[in-house]
Amino acid sequence: MSPTTPWTTIESDFPASYPMTDRLRFLIRYALLAPSSHNTQPWQFRIAADRIDVFMDEGRWLKVADKDQRELHISIGCALENLLIAAKHFGLAHRTEYLTDPANPMHAATVRVSEDGRPSPGPSHDLFPMISVRHTNHGEYDGRAIPADVLDRLSGCNDKPSVTLLLTANEEIKWKVDELVVRADANEFANPAFREELGHWIGQGVFGTSWLMSKIGKLAVTYVNMGASIAKKDSAVLMSSPVLGLISSERNDRETQIKVGQVYQRLSLLAASSGLWCQPMSQLVQVEEIKQELSQLQANPALFPQHPFRLGFANPEKHHTPRRAVEDVLV
């Protein structure tokens, strides 16, 4: 990873006495550390004197895996949440407006900032220190139960009334989800277009592999159906997780999906502060029939399943995945 990666941003470098545009540019470094599907980092930002506009980058949309752009919006929500947490941490009050530019369907949100000293909305817990610690943990979790008070705290991080956060340690549900994961993996990896899209992103080095391994990985994923071995691995890691999570919603619109991303980001930062890690399991919502079956496992099956994930204690992964530089995401 290059020494200028946003992962190594030093908090004390915040240009507090510089013009607002410089300060906002600094905040974007933290937005970039958000998770995104296949690490596509499908976001762009425009800075003005009193605001940051956040856009989706359609060129980075996963057209096969994410047909309805659900993950595109969730990824944007994750970046937006980091931005808001960082703004608050550095003393900037903020107000978010969603999808306010009908002329530009790629516009996701506008964050208006001010220094008027009023507290920003949102829970008071400072999640900022966890932004550069959090990562997706793909390994087996150690199976240790998550204490009830920690689960309560995690459940309480959902500050969006339009979004439902379900965390369950129910073994029967885990077995049912496991079966769905195996079928979803088999379904997706049987599709050459899915493998080609995944291979393309692996070939870009988005998961932090060397140039050579990225190219080999690209070829392997594109031309060999590894569905069975991937399903086996996914099943093992899922069964090692003490808790499964699902973020759902009553409505399935774009603003709600951005908010789903915000809730997931809050949850994964709060989890990291307790030594817990998460991994999304998007195959469960990428295959329509599997998604329908997943919705039936909810207490209220009418809710739209948006973002399933697993949660547990584990050793941290050795490296962070790479990020683009701020210059590359400014418009």
Ligand X SMILES: Cc1cc2nc3c(=O)[nH]c(=O)nc-3n(C[C@H](O)[C@H](O)[C@H](O)COP(=O)(O)O)c2cc1C
Q: How far is the CB of 307 from ligand X (least distance, A)?
A: 6
Query: In 156-306, where does DSSP find H-type helix?
Result: 171-189, 192-203, 211-223, 227-239, 254-273, 283-286, 288-296
Query: Minimum distance between the CB of residue 37 and ligand X, rounded to whole angstroms?
Result: 4
Query: 31 vs 78, which CB is nearer to ligand X?
Result: 78
Burial of 302 by CB count in 10 Å (0-12 exposed, 13-18 middle, 19+ buried)?
exposed
Q: Dihedral through CA 153, CA 246, CA 297, CA 291, nearest 10? A: 180
Minimum distance from residue 115 beta carbon to ligand X (Å): 31
Cβ proximity to ligand X, 67 vs 138, nearer residue: 138
The minimum distance between CB 235 and ligand X, in angstroms, equals 14
- State which amino acid sits at residue 152: D
Q: Which positions lie near ligand X, rule CB under 6 A?
A: 35-39, 71, 74-75, 78, 135-136, 138, 279-283, 321
- CB-nearer residue toward ligand X: 118 or 233: 233
- Residue number, nearest CB to ligand X: 35
Based on CB atoms, which residue is closest to ligand X, 92 or 185? 185
d(CA 244, CA 227): 22
Provide the minimum distance between the beta carbon of 103 and ligand X in the complex, in angstroms, as a whole number.
Answer: 26
Helix (H/G/I), strand (E/B), else coil: 59? helix
Strands (E), the chain: 43-47, 51-56, 93-98, 107-114, 163-168, 243-249, 276-280, 304-313
CB neighbourhood size of 125 (10 A): 15
Q: Yes or no: say if 194 and 188 are a contact pair by the CB < 8 Å rule.
A: yes
Q: Which of 205, 270, 216, 277 is nearest to 241 (CA)?
A: 277
Q: How far is the CB of 228 from ligand X (least distance, A)?
A: 17
Distance of CA 303 to the CA centre of its chain: 20
The minimum distance between CB 329 and ligand X, in angstroms, equals 15
* Of residues 53 and 81, the one with the C-beta less far from ligand X: 81
In the bound state with ligand X, the residue whose beta carbon lies nearer, of 20 and 226, is 226
Closer residue to ligand X in complex, CB, 78/267:
78
CA atoms of 284 and 61, how far apart (whole Å): 18
